[in-house]
Structure 1
């Protein structure tokens, strides 16, 4: 890898991105923002779901270049449209691979192999190529053909079994957090493979199974079962070792605060803050074991205090005494939050069609990188000429012929 400008530590790395929907596109955005040249491959024959089927267009106007989902996930990349079922387009893919370092994809298991573009095919074109494959369950094993989205993969991986209220049914977490978690791990795995290649000259295939990533986030459940023979139960927002530990209603509509008290000393402080010093010595609440036995009553006491105050007021007074607390923030509150804003997680990007828009940037900060190398998501097929004509060296007539035959499409 060659060193680049201060905000482009991955300059000189070229990545071919076949990502679909979330995990691989998210990983590509990370790598592109750190200076890698990421070439996003898509096709008019079947528009990527982020362009066509998730969310609405900017300003309520539909269009393949106006999707908020696409423009937020596919920033810092170049874009080409190749119909990879066409043999001519497949040859273009091989030409790009020959001058690239990494290929990333999360098609269903076996799709690229059947097109002659799998790892074994591509390493014949470039022996030290690194190929990352993302999937629901992995590309080998009895369930390798399984497909789906985050919620059903999380179910298989065990997450809902420990999520939900005591005595209630299993619950999935909201949103698509597994995709973003997998995408982040993909970034680290690609960087590790690039470092390995730098030391050995060898490429390799990387596999990222979403189910395994989710299961790896449940260490307590696995440890408790293997060591003690206990199966983890759902306990809502409570904790086995802390009390109070819950979310509590505050003043206002649907306003809540999360509180976690770690010790008897913190509980005594909280009793003073609430103006209920006598509760610290009350036999029902005097130590954590007693508080756990009487947790319903305990939560009622805390709720009675929080319901007349705002989430931020509760947070500030408890944090002032070193007690863990935080307001339950929704997207609107976060976007208006001064701390969130000052940290620079929201960045502005100038998009050719939709203008200046705010986009979520990388959730990390570098002391020597004031702003990563962000730029807006590509228009559909925006860089066809630059990649096929410029990078690969095809003449204008050849490029037009490939467009007419819909190999570039």
Structure 2
């Protein structure tokens, strides 16, 4: 079973007002600078990381532990952590003291000044860079669905955006963000990196903010397109789906299946659609390139990775978790509901603080009904349960 791991970026907030707090440096000092917690671009956010894992349960346990560790450190400094992909309340932000960050801040100006977004990064182990590039070329068409599955940023600088994942729009202001053309080989990937840095428009390879890339520091592919989910269980679900997608891509490469080669322009439209609608409307089908319901798009993803999930014994659990997510919605729905219930944007943050460290993700009759709906639209699942 291929190892995988997760990095989650969390917002640090005032538990009363909901405003971001620049406490990352103090939190790390209080926590003793543990290896599974680190700085991010702004002091109003903190990153927690898992070690490489093999099972869903191991990953989930480490994610719970990481969020609790960060929240304890925040409490000790007068704040809390919230799994929010953008801050509902606008405020000035504080650059983390770092020479490289200072150079980025000077060069990119308002993009840097307003950069306070929190994502979910999933790493999956690879044997070589050539293997990694074969994966990147075959997963790119499916990645916009992960925006919809994790959408958790409906508010931006105190305003309702009309987007389920406005983080996607804010993040895409960086010049290298988004989907890329097919690479074909590790050499071609390296040549592109060198050419991009050679333009002088970015500082280094670390600024290759692609939807998915080869990790610079680990023998992994790194999928970076998702919002940080509100619930820990959803982060684990996405990681399991990503690992299955990577394994499926490797099998396609071994069988000589060519990448879909969808034009970058279409992939950008698919990502925009997922950012706008989340799970609430239509998405672009990765293979058909036409609008379908969100549930149909997710069912297509599940069908695509089903053989890999069955081999690891993760199919049934993943199917149930997907049905539950389709039923209750992502963090954007929870944020909107909390704000509409009378708490306003500060109330949305307070609700997020509670959800961030909870063990939510239970089963109910509504999810069972959704599961039945998914199965009706996914013939592959009938009669072939894990």
- Whether these two folds match at TM > 0.5 is no
Say which one has the larger Rg.
1
User: Relative to total residues, which structure has the larger helix share, 1 or 2?
Assistant: 2
